[in-house]
């Protein structure tokens, strides 16, 4: 008998019919002799709807209140799923994040899990009851309700699977697994039967939103087997596994894209020690997360520094840079919010030279200009104009023959 954590995303519980289908699946898993813990997201787009409502009543929207509001979404789905389970003869009980023992830090809207105390869930399981847990939420060390950041139900599921020593954490969503590219953008994308944690981390970090980045980090650190699969077809999906177990040693496994960042360029910076330190310290002090950084070669004693930041932080980043004008003696700050990043990811890249050349040639053949480049041992990312990113993805997907 296995212990299985099953997480159902927003589209998987978007209406009454979907909730009943999920209940049938949980019941089936239970009747096969397994213990089940279900984790649910808010129905459909209800988190976005709640955020919109908050924006309509308030321009300040204190983060503590945003969290209290948003956690209501997951409460609705957890109680409805328990009712649907009762109808199919399965004993179930709902638990908020707090009741499930998810203890977080105090960073509202992006809290990190510090500890999981699943005593109540354990007691329910032992009593033959299926705990249904509200995803995406916890209670802080100050006893306030917190949320874990968008897509955070994935983290709830993995954290509970780790704390309960579950045999597998199943992430049910609206696609049949992890694909070689977002199937909504690249119709020929192929479902991967296995992918390594290392590759999945790079995918999640570069826009492949099928799994939230922190959930993959958590699963890797705690050795939680992850299975991403469909709540529409219920067929086997993609296993995220340790690298030595990921049999498909493809040179390139996937192409991702991310349109959530913007670019800032500081022009005519004196090329002296300490200048970059000043700029990036000032950005860090305002909690602006810098991603890619490029510094041009120095000409006539000055240089240009470009970097990317989340689009939501663009105004702050420009303001921070401008505030250093007297100190840093640069000539100008420019910004561009319509950039996008396209990345190719593959563990086999480590031992195969020439991948970078193929990426650049492919983009050149499409007439796509590369504005910035960054690499890791298993990833190559290029910043391009946002209007060209989907063409870039399709061309790279084809160049590396990733299609099914």
**Is 10 among the residues that bind ligand ADP (CB under 6 A)?**
yes
Query: Does residue 75 touch ligand ASP according to CB under 6 A?
Result: no
Interstrand relation of 92-95 and 130-134 (parallel, antiparallel or unpaired): parallel
Q: Does 174 bind ligand ADP (CB under 6 A)?
A: yes
Single out the residue of 8, 136, 197, 330 in contact with ligand ASP (rule: CB under 6 A). 136
Among 110, 112, 150, 190, binds ligand ASP (CB under 6 A): 150
When asked if residue 179 is in the footprint of ligand ADP (CB under 6 A), the reply is yes
CA-closest candidate to residue 44, choices 10, 77, 73, 67: 10
Q: Do residues 264 and 310 make contact, with C-beta atoms less than 8 angstroms apart?
A: no
Sites for ligand ASP among residues 2-21 (CB under 6 A): 9-10
Backbone angles phi, psi at 311, to 5 degrees: -55, -35
List 73, 97, 151, 177, residue binding Mg ion (CB under 5 A): 151
From 147-155, 168-176, 186-194, 331-339, give the range in contact with ligand ASP by CB under 6 A: 147-155
* Calpha distance 213→289 (Å, rounded): 15
CB nearer to Mg ion: give 239 or 400: 239
Task: Please count the residues of this chain forming the interface with ligand ADP, following the rule CB under 6 A.
Answer: 18
Q: Residue 384 burial by CB count (10 A; 0-12/13-18/19+): exposed, middle or buried?
A: buried
Decide whether 130 or 195 has the Cβ nearer to ligand ADP: 195
CA gap 121, 101 in Å, rounded: 9
Of 229, 224, 72, the residue nearest 216 (C-alpha): 224
β-pairing verdict for 293-295 and 130-134: unpaired
Of 357, 387, 385, 354, the closest CA to residue 372 belongs to: 385
Does 73 contact ligand ASP by CB under 6 A?
yes
Residues 196-215 that bind ligand ADP (CB under 6 A): 208-210
Establish if 44 lies at the interface with ligand ASP (CB under 6 A): no
Angle at 187 between CA 347 and CA 244, to 5 degrees: 20
Say whether residue 73 binds Mg ion (CB under 5 A): no
- Residues in contact with ligand ADP by the rule CB under 6 A: 9-12, 41, 151, 173-175, 178-179, 181-182, 184, 208-210, 254
- Residues in contact with Mg ion by the rule CB under 5 A: 151
- Residues in contact with ligand ASP by the rule CB under 6 A: 9-10, 41-42, 47, 73, 135-136, 150-154
């Amino acid at each position: 008998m296995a212990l299985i954590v099953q997480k159902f995303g927003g589209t998987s519980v978007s209406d009454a019919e979907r909730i009943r289908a999920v209940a049938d699946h949980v019941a089936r898993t239970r009747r096969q002799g397994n213990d089940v813990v279900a984790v649910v997201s808010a129905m459909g787009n209800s988190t976005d709807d709640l955020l919109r409502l908050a924006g309509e009543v308030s321009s300040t929207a204190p983060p503590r209140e945003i969290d209290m509001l948003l956690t209501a979404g997951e409460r609705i789905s957890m109680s409805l799923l328990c009712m649907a389970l009762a109808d199919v003869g399965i004993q179930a009980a709902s638990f908020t994040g707090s009741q499930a023992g998810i203890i977080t830090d105090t960073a509202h809207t992006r809290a990190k899990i510090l500890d999981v105390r699943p005593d109540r869930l354990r007691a329910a399981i032992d009593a033959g009851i299926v705990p249904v847990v509200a995803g995406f939420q916890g209670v802080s060390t100050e006893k306030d309700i917190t949320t874990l950041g968008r897509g955070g139900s994935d983290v709830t599921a993995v954290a509970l699977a780790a704390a309960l020593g579950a045999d597998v954490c199943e992430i049910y969503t609206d696609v049949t697994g992890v694909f070689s590219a977002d199937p909504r953008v690249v119709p020929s994308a192929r479902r991967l039967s296995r992918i390594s944690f290392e590759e999945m981390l790079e995918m999640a970090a570069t826009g492949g939103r099928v799994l939230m980045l922190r959930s993959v980090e958590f699963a890797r650190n705690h050795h939680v087997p992850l299975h991403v699969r469909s709540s529409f077809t219920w067929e086997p999906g993609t296993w995220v596994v340790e690298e030595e177990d990921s049999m498909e040693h493809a040179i390139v496994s996937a192409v991702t894209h991310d349109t959530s960042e913007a670019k800032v360029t500081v022009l005519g910076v004196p090329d002296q020690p300490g200048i970059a330190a000043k700029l990036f310290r000032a950005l860090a002090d305002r909690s602006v997360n810098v991603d890619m950084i490029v510094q041009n070669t120095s000409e006539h004693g000055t240089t240009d520094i470009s970097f990317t930041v989340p689009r939501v932080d663009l105004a702050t980043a420009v303001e921070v840079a401008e505030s250093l004008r007297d100190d840093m003696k640069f000539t100008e700050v420019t910004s561009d919010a319509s950039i996008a990043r396209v990345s190719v990811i593959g563990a086999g890249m480590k031992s195969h030279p020439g991948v970078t050349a193929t990426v650049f040639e492919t983009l050149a053949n499409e007439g796509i200009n590369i504005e910035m480049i960054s690499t890791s041992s298993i990833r190559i990312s290029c910043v391009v104009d946002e209007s060209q990113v989907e063409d870039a993805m399709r061309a790279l997907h084809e160049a590396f023959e990733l299609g099914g």
